[in-house]
């Protein structure tokens, strides 16, 4: 069985790339295709042991660092991949990879992280970016994204099967693409139970993740800056790091660590009173990593968090992305903190393990190769 795996780009090792690593564990001979590849990032990853084919965008100036600036070229670039000879094509897409062209006798299964965020659900938020505040820039971006939505919708009709990483994403696929999707949650690496579950708790809260605006770490820092009696530890890397350090100045109870390695991350999660999570995520792996350590989560109650956290059992929710709402969620957590059982929290997290993901994905691919993808009804059957 010949398998091709297609990813938008391979430039950082995050949740999407962890999905590819899990698929490589199922099909160790699979070939990987991607628009842009930073090989130095994946030297320790199983991905580096696979044949990786890139698009012509790889040869453009500064493509591996400034790859997002070439996004207008990617619909054309992804259609140039020659995938003849593969039994199944698996595209993992948050933007372009679902637009690859396949033959009628091939099975194309798309694993959708989300429909193109800046063209659909995040369109108006993207237009608020201060880098495009000038009227002519905003008009140009609107015209480009208008055309991009048309291509994206057409491209979303190409896969035979669409899988969504959460119910949140499934609803977006149905709304924007008029396609049905089956939910297969992404893989979460479970830390060793005997090493991190049941660690003695220390008097701090923690948040860890990529430091980018939509993660709302600034909101968490702001909230704890007003609660001098509660300690917050922030870890991660990204463009927001200098800003977060600036926000934390004068707040002795807020510690910004920056990047930490995997061992230190799991130790921070295991010893924390709770993990704090403020973004509206499509799914959200970080809260499950915390629960894998037996640590409860205080999360914004929207999006993927509603699917991975059991309110009152593995964590609590706050209702608005504001410092005041987070404070109220924290107070509620502290009232019931002693009722949380690390063993129960860990057992819940194991439903989202890498092994569960691999079993479900293998079965879906093999059944569709054996039977052939079921024909789909046209999206529109109306007359003239």
CATH of the domain at 243: 3.40.50.2000
Q: Where are the beta strands (DSSP E) in 18-65?
A: 31-34, 52-54
**Are 169 and 283 within 8 A, CB to CB?**
yes
Q: How many domains does the chain have?
A: 2
Neighbours of 339 (CB within 10 A): 9
Q: What is the CA radius of gyration of the chain?
A: 22
Residue 181: other Cβ atoms inside 10 A:
22
CA atoms within 13 A on the CB side of 171: 8
Q: How far apart are CA 337 and CA 30, in angstroms?
A: 46
134 and 254 inside one domain: no
**Is residue 61 left, alpha or beta, with left meaning phi > 0 and alpha meaning psi from -120 to 50?**
beta
Sequence-distant (6+) residues with CB within 8 A of 30 are 3, 4, 5, 23, 24, 50
pLDDT in single tens digits along all 384 residues of the chain: 899 999 999 998 888 899 999 999 999 999 999 999 999 999 999 999 999 999 999 999 988 888 888 889 999 999 999 999 999 999 999 999 999 999 999 999 999 999 998 889 888 877 877 777 788 888 988 898 999 999 999 999 999 999 999 999 999 999 999 999 999 999 998 988 889 998 999 999 999 998 888 899 999 999 999 999 999 999 998 889 999 999 999 999 999 999 999 899 999 999 999 999 999 988 889 999 999 999 999 999 999 999 999 999 999 999 999 999 999 999 999 999 999 999 999 999 999 999 999 999 999 999 988 876 555 543 433 333
Q: Residues 71, 133: one domain?
A: yes
Q: Where are the alpha helices (DSSP H) in the chain?
A: 15-26, 74-78, 123-127, 135-155, 167-177, 193-196, 217-225, 241-248, 262-271, 286-292, 305-308, 323-336, 342-349, 354-371
Helix (H, G, I), strand (E, B) or coil at 252: coil
Same domain, 201 and 165: no
The verdict on 210 and 339 lying in the same domain is yes
Q: Are residues 112 and 251 in the same domain?
A: no
DSSP calls for 158-195: S-SEEEESSHHHHHHHHHHH----EE-PPPBPPPPHHH
Indicate if 326 and 218 belong to the same structural domain: yes
**Residues 200, 128 share a domain:** no
With respect to residue 135, please indicate whether it lies within any of the assigned structural domains.
yes
Together in a domain, 16 and 63: yes
pTM: 0.84
Which tokens go with 148?
């991009």
C-alpha dihedral over 215, 217, 220, 222, to 10 degrees? -130
Q: Identify the domain containing residue 148 by its residue range.
A: 3-187+354-371
One domain for residues 225 and 138: no
């Amino acid at each position: 069985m010949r398998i091709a795996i297609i990813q938008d780009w391979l430039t950082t090792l995050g949740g999407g790339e962890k999905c590819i690593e899990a698929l490589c564990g199922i099909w160790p001979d699979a070939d990987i295709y991607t628009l842009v590849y930073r090989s130095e990032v994946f030297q320790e990853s199983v991905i580096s042991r696979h044949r990786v084919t890139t698009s012509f965008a790889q040869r453009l100036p500064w493509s591996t660092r400034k790859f997002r600036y070439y996004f207008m070229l990617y619909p054309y670039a992804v259609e140039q991949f020659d995938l003849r000879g593969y039994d199944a094509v698996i595209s993992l897409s948050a933007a372009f990879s679902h637009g690859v062209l396949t033959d009628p006798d091939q099975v194309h299964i798309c694993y959708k992280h989300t429909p193109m965020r800046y063209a659909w659900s995040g369109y108006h938020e993207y237009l608020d970016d201060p880098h495009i505040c000038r009227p002519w820039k905003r008009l140009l971006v609107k015209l480009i994204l208008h055309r991009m939505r048309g291509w994206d919708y057409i491209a979303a009709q190409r896969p035979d099967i669409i899988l969504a990483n959460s119910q949140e994403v499934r609803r977006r696929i149905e709304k924007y693409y008029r396609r049905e999707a089956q939910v297969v949650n992404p893989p979460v690496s479970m830390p060793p139970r005997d090493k991190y579950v049941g660690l003695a708790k220390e008097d701090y809260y923690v948040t860890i993740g990529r430091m980018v605006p939509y993660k709302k770490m600034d909101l968490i820092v702001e909230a704890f800056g007003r609660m001098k009696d509660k300690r917050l530890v922030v870890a991660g890397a990204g463009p927001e790091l200098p800003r977060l350090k600036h926000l934390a100045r004068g707040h002795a109870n807020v510690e910004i660590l920056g990047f930490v390695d995997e061992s230190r991350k799991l130790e921070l999660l295991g010893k924390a009173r709770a993990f704090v999570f403020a973004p509206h995520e499509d799914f959200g792996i970080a809260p499950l990593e915390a629960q894998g350590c037996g640590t409860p989560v205080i999360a914004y109650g929207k999006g993927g968090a509603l699917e991975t956290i059991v309110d009152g059992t593995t964590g609590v929710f706050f209702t608005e992305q504001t410092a005041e709402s987070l404070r109220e969620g924290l107070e509620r957590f502290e009232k019931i903190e002693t009722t949380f059982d690390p063993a129960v929290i860990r057992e819940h997290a194991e439903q989202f393990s890498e092994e569960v993901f691999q079993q479900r994905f293998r079965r879906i691919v093999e059944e569709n190769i054996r039977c052939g993808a079921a024909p789909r009804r046209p999206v529109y059957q109306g007359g003239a």
